[in-house]
Amino acid sequence: MSNSSKSKETFSRTVIFVFVICLICAALVSIAASSLKPLQKANKLLDQHTKILEAAGLSDVAAKNGVDATFEKFVMPKFIDLASGSFTTGDHAIYDERSDSRDVAKSSAVKDRGVGLRRRANKAVIYLVKNDQGHIDSAVLPIVGMGLWDIMYGYIGLEANLNTVKRVVYYELKETPGLGAEVQNPKWKALWKGKEMFDKNHNIAIEIVKGGMANCKTNKIYCVDALSGATLTSRGVNRTIHFWLGDEGYGPFIAKFGGKLNNGELN
């Protein structure tokens, strides 16, 4: 056998070897990706439930009794029709509000208030949370709106009067660590507890104020100190909350059920 045919044979074998290895690797990656999907989905759901329980002020109970057991025992996911504020039907387990908000048949155009939303889904899943006696103790409302860099997703936890804040929890955002991402800092989150969203005339009163509470022009119960060095993210949070508490968000639901939920009135 000549030297050239020897080297030809070695080259083609190398190519076949590389090709086979590539095929095996691609197959392994796609098997891993598809077999990990259910685990990723379960982890996402666990994270969502953890954040909902946090917004309802039940983190300690969840830490003691487990997230799944606590969610199962206390949380009732409910569909609402945002325009009327009434409860409606749907399967929350498969509902995807993000996909509905892009579907013109299942969403409505909204006014641009700097929240970064052009449309919002017609339905929303909210979470009514019971206490040990089985009475509704709080409601957790999903919120979404622009920060400085991108859309941020979170929950507002309100007491059953649908006015007093339990927690404001963001769970998905692309703000800068140490600046806008401080919305997730427990110290900032703690500032929200006990604040009131609406004044006595039922107007949205909550404001994130820059430069400390001395700049609160109304009443301290309606003011939250802005994040220092992250005024733009804070402004985004303020606009987002105003949007979702307003007429195009949960306003009709809050007008209908504020002060009634803890009596168990769900009609």
Ligand X SMILES: Cc1cc2nc3c(=O)[nH]c(=O)nc-3n(C[C@H](O)[C@H](O)[C@H](O)COP(=O)(O)O)c2cc1C
Q: Which stretches of the chain bind ligand X, using CB under 6 A?
A: 148, 175-176, 179-180, 228-233
Question: Residue 117 has what DSSP assignment?
Answer: -
Work out how close the CB of 54 gets to ligand X at its nearest, in angstroms, rounded to a whole number.
22
The CA distances from residue 257 to 110, 184, 211, 252, in Å, are 23, 29, 35, 9
Nearer to ligand X (CB atom), residue 101 or residue 234:
234
Question: Which is nearer to ligand X, 157 or 236 (by Cβ)?
Answer: 236
Q: How far is the CB of 233 from ligand X (least distance, A)?
A: 4
Q: How far is the CB of 227 from ligand X (least distance, A)?
A: 7
**Residue 123 and residue 37: Cα distance in Å, rounded?**
27
Question: 84 vs 228, which CB is nearer to ligand X?
Answer: 228
Of 102, 105, 106, 104, the closest CA to residue 117 belongs to 102
| Phi, psi for 10 (deg, rounded to 5) | -65, -40
CA atoms lying within 13 Å on the CB side of residue 89: 0
Q: What SS3 class is residue 175?
A: coil
Using the minimum distance from each CB to ligand X, give the nearer residue, 56 or 146. Answer: 146
State the nearest-atom distance from the C-beta of 216 to ligand X, in Å: 16
Least gap, CB of 238 to ligand X (angstroms): 12
Contact at 8 Å (CB) between 81 and 125?
no
Please provide residue 264's backbone torsions phi and psi, each rounded to the nearest 5 degrees: 80, 15
Please identify the residue of the shown chain whose CB is closest to the bound ligand X: 180
Q: Which is nearer to ligand X, 221 or 232 (CB)?
A: 232
